[in-house]
Amino acid sequence: MKERSPIQPAARAQALPENFFAALEEKINFLQSSGKDVIRLDVGSPDMPPPAGIVETLIRSAQEPRNHGYQALRGPLALRQAWASFYAARFQVDLDANTEILPLMGSKEGIFHFISSWVEPGGVVLIPDPGYMTYTRAALFAGAEPYYFPLNARNGFLPDLSAIPVEVLRRTRMLWLNYPNNPTAAVTDLTTFVQAVALAKEYGFWVCHDAAYSMVTFDGYRASSVLEIPGAKDVCVEFNSLSKSHNMAGWRVGVVVGNARAIRPLARVEVNISSGQFRPIMDAVVFALTGDQTWMAERNEIYRNRRDAAILGLAALGIPVDPPSGAIYLWCPIPNEEKSLDFVLRVLEATGVSFTPGIVFGQEGDNYFRISLTVEEKRIREAMQRMRIWRKE
């Protein structure tokens, strides 16, 4: 009897690119097993812990036997009210805790599912290039058509929305923005949001703002919410997270806020995928959002010192980088226009310093590499010293 052909994965799964960081992890593990000391300046995972009160709240809640069962998708009302209070205090934005707030198991998951919730195959998703990889991966999984708008140094890594063709805008379902930005660390004032909201109202699509880095800012800069724009709730949602703001990346805590109609289909998807978050985590989030936030100033000063140390080291290498006012990254031009993956792998092999190649974030990033400021300042200085020694050889 003729043997059947092996069953094949679904096309939507095959459309997803391989994860760069998984392959990088294997490379780094090999180098470390060979005795090489690797300085990780690649993944943006905060190295500092959350404040002790957040952890203590988690522990107390976990000691309650009744807190170990399934939880409602939207969590307790206290959680949604905490997000509402946080937005009111930080951005002067009023949110309805019952209809305009949906807690998420990390903003990454919510971003991925939101695109599937609203975009049919062939629909256009406007994505920044360079940009956070999940926007593209979610669009491909949904069978959507990504349309990339460039972020370049000439424009301060801000979008030129007027350059998007009208025929593309007519088919657009959503536009993604992210400020402070990953990977470029660029920041914006309200002008970018005003333009985006006006365009969305004219052509009938959602504006989706990824505000994951809004609480990590320097030099007096204050990041804004897109929802601060009058009338923004008509066409906007904002994804937020405690991963970077409260050093809670592994906790998988996020939220989407804004237009109630936009959120409803996402909630329908989420309730069919998960069974609610762990109650002790949600209780700790309430404490994190409603407790004292002044500790962030000291944390941000640590990042600022790391930023300045890295910029000083890069300048000695002939790599000029302007000090960014937000996020936890530096976006660095590669000398001699070498391709980013070749450069990063060459540096890793020679020095044991690991960066992220800009090509990971899109074609516009291929002459850049990203530095993550998530290691101690002394390790950043050591990384720069290794680079100087290598360049002299």
Taking the CA atoms of 142, 148, 149 and 154 in sequence, report the sign of the dihedral they define. Answer: positive
On the question of pLDDT at 299 being above 60, the answer is yes
pLDDT for the residue numbered 393: 63
Q: In terms of pTM, does the model score above 0.75?
A: yes
Task: Tell me the average pLDDT of the chain.
Answer: 94
Taking the CA atoms of 240, 244, 248 and 249 in sequence, report the sign of the dihedral they define. Answer: positive
pLDDT for the residue numbered 265: 96
pLDDT for the residue numbered 173: 97
**How much of the chain is helix, strand and coil, in % rounded to 5?**
50, 15, 40
β-bridge pairing 356-357 and 101-104: unpaired
Comparison of pLDDT for 191 and 20, the residue scoring more: 191
Placement of tokens 């998007």 in the chain: 164
pLDDT for the residue numbered 32: 86
Which domains occur in the chain, in start order? 11-44+295-392 (3.90.1150.10), 53-290 (3.40.640.10)
Question: Could you tell me which of 182, 151, 187, 177 has the C-alpha nearest to residue 42?
Answer: 182
pLDDT for the residue numbered 96: 97
Note the pLDDT tens digit of each residue in 100-118: 999 999 999 999 999 999 9
> Residue 19 — pLDDT band, cuts 50, 70, 90?
confident
Distance CA 119, CA 298 (A): 41
Comparison of pLDDT for 36 and 114, the residue scoring more: 114
Distance CA 142, CA 101 (A): 24
Distance CA 203, CA 191 (A): 19
Cis peptide before 49 (omega within 30 of 0): no
